[in-house]
């Protein structure tokens, strides 16, 4: 069996972890770094008297008709196309390259973890909250708006104050190309008096949920793997543990969710027709499990080290045992 892993050159150690697990289970893995297409990797898609689809990477050639499973991890099509190209021509090249690769992925007959259309649908955080409520999960009061008056009314409803967050994975890059992520942040009374910027960009606001623990649940197939961290132990991590992600690396511990919560999370995944999801949950001091969001291609690699969740092994098992 051959598993095609779709990613990019700068992806993290989750890739070698899964490759090692696949090989340990007797399978083969082929890594496709999408940022190297079309400048360094060649793809041939031929439909005539026969059908031929081959991917040529360095000195390796993969017959895509022999791929048994696909792990869609990350995509960065054409990032090595020179910036010096004419802007319109470069945009045309990027678009054509992306359409070509997405068509290639869609045409692979093997098992997909997960199909790209399912991933794109599941990325919609407004739909996530709607479906989470449908399956019975506890969710925070949430407002997405570009209306300052609506925000002020919402703030009055939420006695524990409110926070703001982005629906997209938004980041700002400085002159050196360093990424500066926009984290979850509290809204102050001063912020409520300065909401004019909403006319240029809508924002999402949520009631501030008190935290006993923050949970990261990784669902792979029917398996639910959860870890917990006390984000309140560090001041800068109180609203978003990612701000102190490195400092908290060794603070994560294995955690077992109540059975009814696990069952609801699995129902959520069924609704989205997804086999993989990284889910963020808050455990409140009074014992509520509050669903925040699910990332259909979310990170997990640090949880392999501490507390040692067998996520890559489980991904490899699903990829090799779910061949249709």
Burial 206-216, CB ≥16 within 10 A → b, else e: bbbbebebbbb
Same domain, yes or no: 131 and 221: yes
Higher-confidence position of 178 and 280: 280
Span 282-293, mean pLDDT? 98
Same domain, yes or no: 74 and 182: no
Give residue-wise pLDDT tens across range 68-86: 999 999 999 999 999 999 9
Report yes or no: 303 and 227 within 8 Å, Cβ to Cβ: yes
Amino acid 171: pLDDT: 59
Same domain, yes or no: 162 and 223: no
Residue 278 has pLDDT above 80, yes or no: yes
Q: Residue 319 domain-assigned?
A: no
Same domain, yes or no: 264 and 128: yes
Distances (CA, A) of 230 to 210, 234, 249, 283, 296: 12, 8, 11, 10, 24
Same domain, yes or no: 199 and 238: no
Residue 189 has pLDDT above 70, yes or no: yes
pTM: 0.93
Same domain, yes or no: 228 and 155: no
Candidate from 8-22, 73-87, 165-179, 276-290 with smallest mean pLDDT: 165-179
Q: How is 212-234 classified by DSSP, letter by letter?
A: SEEEEEEEETTEEEEEEE-GGGS
Last residue of a domain, which of 208, 224, 240? 208
Q: Residue 251 domain-assigned?
A: yes
Distances (CA, A) of 64 to 38, 105, 187, 315: 17, 9, 50, 20
Give residue-wise pLDDT tens across range 147-184: 999 999 999 999 889 999 988 876 565 565 555 667 88
Host domain of residue 261: 121-140+210-308
Residue 225 has pLDDT above 90, yes or no: yes
Same domain, yes or no: 270 and 288: yes
């Amino acid at each position: 069996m051959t598993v095609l892993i779709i990613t990019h050159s700068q992806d993290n150690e989750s890739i070698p972890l899964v490759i090692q697990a696949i090989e340990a289970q007797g399978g083969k893995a082929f890594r496709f770094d999408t940022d190297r297409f079309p400048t360094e990797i060649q793809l041939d898609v031929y439909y005539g008297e026969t059908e031929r689809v081959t991917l040529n990477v360095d000195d390796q050639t993969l017959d895509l008709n022999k791929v048994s499973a696909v792990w869609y991890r990350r995509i960065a099509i054409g990032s090595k196309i020179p910036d010096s190209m004419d802007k319109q021509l470069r945009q045309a090249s990027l678009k054509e390259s992306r359409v070509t690769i997405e068509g290639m992925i869609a045409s692979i007959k093997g098992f997909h973890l997960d199909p790209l259309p399912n991933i794109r649908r599941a990325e919609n955080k407004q739909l996530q909250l709607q479906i989470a409520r449908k399956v019975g999960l506890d969710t925070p009061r949430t407002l997405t708006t570009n209306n300052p008056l609506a925000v002020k009314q919402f703030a009055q409803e939420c006695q524990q104050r409110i926070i703001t967050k982005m629906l997209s994975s938004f980041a700002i890059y400085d002159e050196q190309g360093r990424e500066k992520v926009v984290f979850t942040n509290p809204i102050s009374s001063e912020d409520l008096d300065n909401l004019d910027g909403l006319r240029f960009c809508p924002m999402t606001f949520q009631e501030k949920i008190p935290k006993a623990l923050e949970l990261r649940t990784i669902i792979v197939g029917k398996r639910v793997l959860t870890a917990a961290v006390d984000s309140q132990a560090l001041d800068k991590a109180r609203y978003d543990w990612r701000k102190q992600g490195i400092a908290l690396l060794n603070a994560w511990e294995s955690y077992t969710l109540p059975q009814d919560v696990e069952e609801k999370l699995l129902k959520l995944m069924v609704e989205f027709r997804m086999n993989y999801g990284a889910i963020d949950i808050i455990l409140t001091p009074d014992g509520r499990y509050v669903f925040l969001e699910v990332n259909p291609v979310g990170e997990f690699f640090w949880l392999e080290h501490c507390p040692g969740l067998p996520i890559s092994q489980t991904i490899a098992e699903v990829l090799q045992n779910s061949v249709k």
